[in-house]
Amino acid sequence: MSEDVRDVRDDLLAEAIRLREQGRQEEARARLVELAARHPADAEVAYQTAWAHDVLGLEAEAVPFYERALAITGPAALPAEDRRGALLGLGSTYRVLGRYEQAVATLRRGTEEFPEDGALRTFLAMALFNTGEHHESTRLLLNLVAATSDDAHVRRYRRAIEYYARDLNETV
């Protein structure tokens, strides 16, 4: 991409993000759809376009943009923080659309790439619940609560919670 084309792309992308931040979601979406058509191999544009659809409740329309953003590899790939957001956004969107197996696969990939991200683990737990994997869903949530809770009572019982999270059916 030439420097002039890159500058125009950067300006248009910044303008669309500004519109979204100002609450002008539909205008931002329209600009991003146009920009994505001009730059189909641009991961950042695809991610921002997916996000613009999601914010408006247009989940089905967001999916191809999320998928495109995540498929681009190499130097044009999303930076780590945006990749994390795209994995969460796509996984969550699949779940909302009832595409539970795809949600689980996407969110698992996200938790493998970003194991410390509690939001990814939480959305994975929800998707696992939807697929009937209640034990694993509860295990994930219990471990997350045990590891991140500021509640003094939960902290006091952290080891016990983590122990029982491994097997909720265990009895004496």
Task: Give residue-wise pLDDT tens across range 39-91.
Answer: 999 999 999 999 999 999 999 999 999 999 999 999 889 999 999 999 999 99
Q: Is residue 171's pLDDT more than 80? A: no
Strands (E), the chain: none
Same-domain status, 17 and 71: yes
- Counting residues of the chain whose pLDDT is more than 90, the rounded percentage is 88
Q: What is the count of structural domains for the chain?
A: 2
Residue 86 is assigned to a structural domain of this protein: no
Same-domain status, 4 and 73: yes
Helical axes 158-166 vs 134-148, angle rounded to 10°: 160
Residue 98 is assigned to a structural domain of this protein: no
The pairs formed by 158-162 with CB atoms below 8 angstroms and a separation of 24 or more are none
pLDDT at residue 8, rounded to an integer: 86
Nearest to 131 by CA among 90, 91, 166, 165: 91
Distance CA 53, CA 63 (A): 9
Same-domain status, 110 and 171: yes
Q: Which domain holds residue 27?
A: 1-78
Residue 117 is assigned to a structural domain of this protein: yes
Radius of gyration of the chain (CA): 19
Task: Give the CATH number, domain containing residue 25.
Answer: 1.25.40.10
Give the model's confidence band at 167: pLDDT under 50 very low, under 70 low, under 90 confident, else very high: confident
- One-character DSSP codes across 95-137: HHTT-HHHHHHHHHHHHHHSTT-HHHHHHHHHHHHHTT-HHHH
